[in-house]
Structure 1
Amino acid sequence: MMTSSLLIELLTEELPPKALNTLGNHFAASVAEGLEKAQLIDGAPEFAAYASPRRLAVQVKNVKPVQADQQIVKKGPAVASGMKDGRPTKALEGFARGAGAKIEDLKIISDGKQDVYAYEFTQQGKGLSELLEDIINQAVKKLPIPKVMRWGSSTFTFVRPVHGLTVLHGADIVNAGVLGLQSGNTTLGHRFLSDGLITLANADSYAEQMRNEGKVIASFAERKAAIQTALNQQAGRLNATVAADEALLDEVTALVEWPVVLEAGFEEHFLAVPQECLILTMQQNQKYFPLLDANGKLMNRFLLVSNLETADPSHIISGNERVLRARLSDAEFFYKQDQKATLESRLPKLSQVVYHNKLGSQAERIERLAAISRHIAASLGADTAAAERATRLSKADLVTEMVGEFPELQGTMGKYYARLDGESEEIANAIEQHYRPRFAGDALPEGKVATAAALADKLETLVGIWGIGLIPTGDKDPYALRRSALGILRMVMQNDLDVNELVQTAFAAFPQGQLNENTPSEVAEFMQARLAVLLQNDYPQDIVAAVLAKKPSRLNDVEAKLKAVAAFKALPEAAALAAANKRVQNLLKKADAELGAVNESLLQQDEEKALFAAAQALQPKIAAAVARSDFQTALTKLASVKPQVDAFFDKVMVISDQPDVKQNRLNLLNQLAQQMNAVADIALLGE
């Protein structure tokens, strides 16, 4: 059976840029999946997704014109219940009728358990044209579209109005009706650079014809790569680097069909404004690509991606420069206006800014933050006055003009205004960095004052929001408490702080009765769960579980313990010792009295005497290694007692008929368990 490529294109009005790539990939994958389920693809699915501002398309290779015939076996009732007195029962007659067969056409086969009646027949394969319409419609329905719209008098809905449908199998049009449109072999190219309808020769010529005749690079990935290359070339010519993230590049790729990168500029006096403001307005408002010099300083040149190709782009460049000039003038105005008042003079305004209706204003929050940061700074041996000062000023930029226009600059503008107010560099940096880490992988605050301010901010949020009942559930976490918890944990792991004490400090900063009384214990448990998630990014689950079983609250040595347990697990004695530890713990649960010291005079058998001697010799070695945080040595030492442990469990009956002997043996095992679990609960290894 001859196969050909299949092309499907939905011609639309401009699609939402931030969702374009996702829509294109989902549409293509859903169509390919539908074709595969319908057994219309020869071999493994091979497809290409296309997505541009005005189209979603997919090209699937090796598509059959018709399904292969299939041998169908319909199983019916058991032979024992199919016939009675030589006549078919109603059950058998009903099965035959439902299968469209006569009784004499039925066969007897085994279903693996018993003999049953069955009807075997050949089902003729359906044609592509018969199945494709439903496959496309299902793919359209599956698209992740948060909001749909109607257009004209149509009752159909889609993310944007759809004006054309192209469906080609090889060179042949496949009849299909989708969103009120009938399929054809024509489409439109670039809105301004192409001339009228484009008649596609076949499914394989799509990308080439769109490029040559339509001035459209239909592939999102190809368009993105072309833009990236052109940006790098232009920047290289200026000895500059492009200041842009992946999100901006994706968004710009989704805004153009025929990208042309152009260089433009703005007046040098705007560079007196903090470059973060200028970069943000260029990227966010205008979708431009700022340029940085070799020192990371913003240049007064930038790159833009036009959707038009023209012999003289000067009018495009000047138009964009004019628009940007207005934006930068606004930023310059806000910056100058903000300098008329100090951060400290803005603090009273925070009483008018609601933090949360159950937790009061930002001014009330500042008092809590100051108390928490002062306590943390003292624990870190930092300047408590500087930490409190930085914390008190940390939210003042929320009532500035610049942050009002660009909320993303909170903290950043606080740093600049603090410098202008004559605050120390330590305080200015802490104001900016108290929001760190903002996301997974973000840099941690630098210095103890900044760390105190950052911990205070996240602790107050976590404890306060949790305490009024707004606890994360499932995938809902509107106040980003999981992110706050991970940020706290990352900082505590770098400093000698007790995380449970920090939670209690934050709880104590709130008025008595304002928060649920169980908040500290619940938050501490939540933090332990988040710590496990954080650590499992780098270590196996059983190793993490072993270390966290002791519920450590000081986390600056957790990394060393994880490495030590990982090294111990690799030892040949590890599995046996882990199993022995588990057995020990199960036996200790049977203790009738409080466990205490071992009475040597009650040791009867040579094996228990040998284990006691080995444990006695081991104890100071492990204690010394743990004291100097040499956890790997502490765990490695355990390997030396494996022979004595094995012999003990082979020869000694722990649960003796003599109560004092039984208790003494349990005391011995408890002493051994304390040494085994000095670093981690090794019984959990291998689970």
Structure 2
Amino acid sequence: MSNLLVELFVEELPPKALNKLGQAFSQSLFDSLQAQGLTAPSSAITAYASPRRLAVHITDVAAKADDKAVAQKLMPVSVGLDAAGNASPALLKKLTALGADASVVSQLKREHDGKAEVLFLDLTVAGATLAEGLQKALDEAIAKLPIPKVMTYQLQDGWSNVNFVRPAHGLVALHGSEIVQLHTLGLTAGNQTQGHRFEATQNPIVLRNADSYVEQLQQDGAVIAGFEERRNEITRQLEAAASKLNLRPIEDEALLDEVTALVERPNVLVGEFEQEFLAVPQECLILTMKANQKYFPLLDAQGKLTNQFLIVSNISPTDPSAVIGGNERVVRPRLADAKFFFEQDRKKTLESRIPGLAKVVYHNKLGSQGERIARVSGIANLIATALGDAALAAQASQAAQLAKADLVTDMVGEFPELQGIMGRYYAQHEGLSDDIAYAIEDHYRPRFAGDELPRNRVGLIVALADKLETLAGMFSIGEKPTGEKDPFALRRHAIGILRLLNDGNIALGLDTLLAQALSVFQHQFDRDATLQALNEFIYDRLAGNLRDAGYSAQEVEAVLALKPQLIADIFKRLNAVQAFAALAEAPSLAAANKRVGNILKKAEGNIEPSINPALLQEDAERALAQALEQVQPQAQQAFSAGNYTESLKALAALKTPVDAFFDHVMVNAEDPALKANRLALLATLHQAMNQVADLSRLAA
């Protein structure tokens, strides 16, 4: 056993994919070696990934796998042996192929495989050598790499082409200090690698053994091989540099990962730009510095952008002024562009830009963005009007009309990520109220799980209208999610609607909202079928979310079976069901409720919950009617007050009379009047028990 190192040295790898490539390469190699019996239970794997290399270090790797005893299945006895027990030509041919002869026929085992009696030959299979096993593992690892885009390049022979993520120039394979003979991508394995392009003290670096890799790369090659180690070093330097200035770097995990994949030995430097650029909204400056230059903007204690930023350089000169100056010269035109766009955009009002949206295609079957904002504005007006707030309706309509106007500004044209944000700035510049301005920015929220909701009531209404319009429009033209495919993010829109209704406390029924959304579309479609499909889609999303939140499938089914229209009510109902399920009487009442439901389904005609006291003959049915007379008003009063827990707890008093009823009363009596009255009694019971949830869903 010795430790193993494998490294592929390549040209600069795609930074956004580097960490994933490194993890996949190392894990695939390890899995293959493990499957071939070349690793030990104690073997540990360490992945390395830098801009120009993918590598893996594996401890306790064998030079050769152990031989294995296997039982080789041959053929059915009826095929392999004749009546006298002699080997058939087919069996002899099979044995010859396995390196055996007729002398082993008497040693063959017979076992039944479930269909017939089969012959087996005990063999010893030689374990793979490391060279064989690693070659197989490397070929598999390269084939399985999650390469974003494959390159085709020519090898040095001038004839052969290779497909890989980037041209490969070196291969290292060391088992201890011994080179393992490998070949891939036109390369032969050795013990030499390359360090930093400019700062390595040795090039090439001759590796002493598998365990010296990290040390030699760092000391002689000026390279931090490990992705996480390099990331941690960048974080440390960023925080140290910012701390000296009493500032803090912006937090962005994706940017940190990308920069980690761009440098081999990080060196954080401080740059700055002119104060005048701070007149531009900080979101614009931050985005251009992050997206275009990979800088880390610096914020003050109040979270305001300063005119200083951090550069993660890949070189460490004695005098860094040239590096800093170069980066400052590069960022200045970017910031100047942002300033120019901002100043030009403010020369036109948002309202004056609305006609331009007629030229922006939204969907070929649903028209332009201009037509879309008219629909969103209409839905917003209907929602606010239904809430009984005329002032809110006017504000929501105006905000909805202006919500997409920034799509035709220069700034959003350059940075689409700023849509909504720039609309808010331009609205405030025009003197529009904060209610309108923040609604323009916030109408995209919530954009993902855990995202904040709009900051005001106007924003809530416009955000809800925007998501309802998207869902209703797409469903009306048959653009529904299928399997894993959801190109219009309709699942996310549905979850956003549910959050807006629940957390935003909008007390409107779901069917009402969906009908309002569908009413603004003028093209031909089946409105009833679309409404039903939308309803089912949203409740399916809701059921999944509730199960993820920790509610049991039975509890979720019990509540959603009634299709509660007020989404904000659903959590209250679920909590009530949980409290009811904890009662000792719950299992019996749930089972009885299921039985009552089945009886009523089988009954002919419509059963009205209207009891005739004169037809109550048995003591048990009189006791149940009396109990209902007492319990039903209590449960109804609590239900009407929104106290669902107390409403369900009141039902506990029905356990004894319900059990007695089913023990002593024949529902399907021969007398039609008696039967009808008993069914009416059960209908009354069913109605009383299923206001909060369908309790039969709790039955085992």
Question: Do both share a fold (TM > 0.5)?
Answer: yes
Correspondence 1:513-532 to 2 at 5 A? 513=524, 518-532=529-543
Aligned equivalent of 1:108: 109
Could you tell me how far 1:97 is from its partner in structure 2?
A: 4.9
Residue correspondences, number: 685
Q: 1:55 aligned to 2:45? A: no
1:613 is aligned to 2:622: no
**Residue 397 (structure 1) aligns with:** 406
Residue type matched to 1:13 in 2? E
Q: Which residue pairs with 1:188 in the alignment?
A: 194
With over 3 angstroms needed to count, the CA separation of the structure-2 counterparts of 1:578 and 1:192, relative to structure 1, is farther
Match of 2:559 in 1: 547
Counterparts of 1:120-519 in structure 2, within 5 Å, are 120-153=122-155, 154-194=160-200, 195-380=202-387, 381=389, 383-493=392-502, 494-513=505-524, 518-519=529-530
Aligned counterparts of 1:55 and 1:686: Cα–Cα separation in 2: 60
Indicate how the Cα distance of structure 1 residues 653 and 387 shifts in structure 2: closer, same or farther if over 3 A, else same.
Answer: same
CA distance in 2, matches of 1:683, 1:29: 49
Deviations 1:527-560 (A, max 9, x none): 1111112222202332222211111221111111
- Aligned CA distance change for structure 1 residues 9 and 629 (closer, same or farther; 3 Å): same
- Which amino acid is 2:678 matched to? R
The range that moved more, 77-86 or 173-182, is: 77-86
Encode CA deviations 1:285-339: one digit per residue, 9 max, x unaligned: 1111111111111111111211111221111111111111111011011111111
Give 1:115 shift. 5.9
Q: Which piece of structure 1 moves more, 476-485 or 583-592?
A: 583-592
1:7 aligns with 2:5: yes
Match of 2:545 among 531, 534, 544: 534
Percent identity at matched positions?
51
SS in 1 for 2:485: coil
What amino acid is the match of 2:195? G
Whichever residue aligns with residue 640 of structure 2, its letter is A
**1:273 CA drift (Å):** 0.6
Tell me the equivalent position of 2:679.
666
TM-score normalised by the chain length of structure 2: 0.93
2:498 and 2:696 mapped to 1: Cα distance? Answer: 26
**Cα distance change, pair 168–463 in 1 and its aligned pair in 2 (3 A):** same
Q: Distance in 2 between the 1:422 and 1:169 partners?
A: 72
Distance 1:515 1:656 in 2: 46
- Secondary structure of residue in 1 paired with 2:221: coil
Q: 1:415 to 1:585 in 2, by over 3 A?
A: same
- Partners of 1:685 and 1:40 lie apart in 2 by 53
**Matched residue SS, 1:506:** helix
How far apart are residue 81 of structure 1 and its match? 6.7
CA distance in 2, matches of 1:50, 1:165: 14
> What whole-Å deviation, never above 9, does each CA across 1:112-166 have from its counterpart, x for those lacking one?
8686432112222121111111111111111112320111244221111111111
User: What is the aligned counterpart of 2:63 among 54, 62, 65?
Assistant: 65
Alpha-carbon separation, structure 1, partners of 2:626 and 2:171: 85
Distance in 1 of aligned mates of 2:210 and 2:67? 26
Q: Aligned pair in 2 of structure 1 residues 268, 666: CA closer, same or farther (>3 Å)?
A: same
1:398 to partner: Cα distance: 1.1
| Cα shift at 1:599 | 3.2
Match of 2:574 among 537, 562, 570: 562
Tell me which amino acid in the other structure corresponds to 1:474.
Answer: G
Give me the whole-angstrom Cα distance separating, in 1, the residues matched to 2:450 and 2:690.
32
Q: CA deviation at 1:570?
A: 2.9
Cα separation, 2, equivalents of 1:537 and 1:241:
36
Deviation at 1:82, TM superposition (A): 5.3
The CA distance in 2 between the partners of 1:409 and 1:537, in whole Å, is: 32
8 Å CA contact 2:71, 2:123 repeated in 1 = yes
**Counterpart of 2:287 in 1: which secondary structure?**
helix
For residues 424-468 of structure 1, what are the alpha-carbon distances to aligned partners after superposition, in whole Å with 9 as ceiling and x for unaligned? 111111111111111221111122211111111111111112212
Query: Deviation string for 1:234-265 (max 9, x for gaps)?
Result: 22222222223211111111111111111111
Distance in 2 of aligned mates of 1:621 and 1:138: 70
Q: Would the alpha carbon gap of residues 227 and 578 (structure 1) be closer, same or farther in structure 2, given more than 3 Å must change?
A: farther
Q: Which residue of 2 aligns with 1:88?
A: 86
Following superposition, the deviation at residue 51 of structure 1 comes to 0.9
TM-aligned CA deviation for residue 572 of structure 1? 3.3
Letter in 2 for 1:569: A
Summarize the Cα distance change of 1:89–1:631 in structure 2 as closer, same or farther, 3 Å threshold: farther
- Aligned equivalent of 1:682: 695
TM-score in terms of structure 1 length: 0.95
Distance 1:514 1:655, change over 3 A: closer
